[in-house]
Amino acid sequence: MVDYNNVMVSWPDDKKFGLILTHDVDRVRKTYQYMTHFFRTRRFYHIKSFFSNKNPYWTFKQIMDIENNLNVKSTFFFLNERKKINFFRLKTYELSLGRYRIKDPAVTKIIKELNNNGWEIGLHGSFDSYCDINLLRKEKNELEKIVGKPVIGIRQHYLNLSIPTTWFYQQKVGFKYDASFGMTRELGFRDQIKNIFMPDKINMYVIPTVIMDAVLFSTSRTYKDAWDKVITIIKEVKQNGGVLCIVWHTERFNNNEFPEQGQFYIDLINYCRQEGAWIGPCYEAIKYIKR
């Protein structure tokens, strides 16, 4: 359990609860997944897509269109991973293969475009950064050079957290909120916390992450099954006047790659709106905290 202090969030216009929209940008190109996803799903599509010159994981335009149509904005957490492959450790393959350079001109360009059009840019702290204050500072600075303004929010890759050390480091380098508090194998509320909080003795907000796309779809057999789980969670958040922070990875918006997962995101937003939710990115949500 964490030591923390409750904060009061008062949503505008009598909204009942908050829906916070986020995207982790883990990868922007499909690489080894041409093979791994083919073997996992047996769908020939993955082999075929290798020979196409389209990049199935570059979905920024789709996401912008979807959110413009819904009249909402979200937070994009960009990763700056440099971990080298250690041939004897399988985990490093996943981290290293298919990573992107944040200074890649196409990536820089899309970060600026999102920022200029009202989306929030946050840092997706690299795998080891949760326990390395210098790495956190470096990644924050590099991203700020691209964005041209302070980056106030972070989510650690794989939700890596060493509590409370990581929060202490994040606050020290100037973050105003962290969105890494959540579970990587389960949906729902870590330690039953349903609202934004402040860790004890740390002057920074924590936005709990409740629903992650990968967890939702790997533990649900059908759309209906996934939907039922999500409705149960929304009800609980609404009853508590809490916040529901969700993560949809950018590549999930390609319908050929991840059928129905982009539509699920749209349906979820529409449902929460009907239920009286305030909907927006992290940085706006924390503006409604009463001090």
Judged by the rule CB under 5 A, the positions of this chain that interact with Zn ion are 24, 26, 157
3-state secondary structure of 163: coil
Alpha-carbon gap, residue 289 to 285, rounded angstroms:
8
Nearest distance in Å: CB 141, Zn ion: 20
Judge if the upstream peptide bond of residue 164 is cis by omega within 30 degrees of 0.
yes
Nearest residue to Zn ion by CB is 157
Nearest distance in Å: CB 276, Zn ion: 31
Nearest distance in Å: CB 111, Zn ion: 16
Alpha-carbon gap, residue 193 to 87, rounded angstroms:
39
Closest CB to Zn ion among residues 25, 204: 25
At which residue do the structure tokens 């949503």 appear?
11
Nearest distance in Å: CB 290, Zn ion: 31
Closest CB to Zn ion among residues 37, 157: 157
Closest CB to Zn ion among residues 154, 272: 154
Give every CB contact of residue 146 below 8 A, 6+ residues apart in sequence: 102, 103, 108, 111, 112
Closest CB to Zn ion among residues 24, 120: 24
CA 114 from centroid of its chain's CA atoms: 15
Give every CB contact of residue 23 below 8 A, 6+ residues apart in sequence: 63, 74, 75, 76, 77, 247, 248, 249, 250
Nearest distance in Å: CB 196, Zn ion: 21
Nearest distance in Å: CB 26, Zn ion: 4
Closest CB to Zn ion among residues 140, 157: 157
Closest CB to Zn ion among residues 180, 195: 180
Cβ-contact 171, 195 below 8 angstroms: no
- In sign, the C-alpha dihedral spanning 252, 256, 260, 264 is positive
Give per-residue burial for 136-168: e unless 16+ CB within 10 Å, then b. bebbbebbeebbeeebbbbbbbbbbbebbebbe
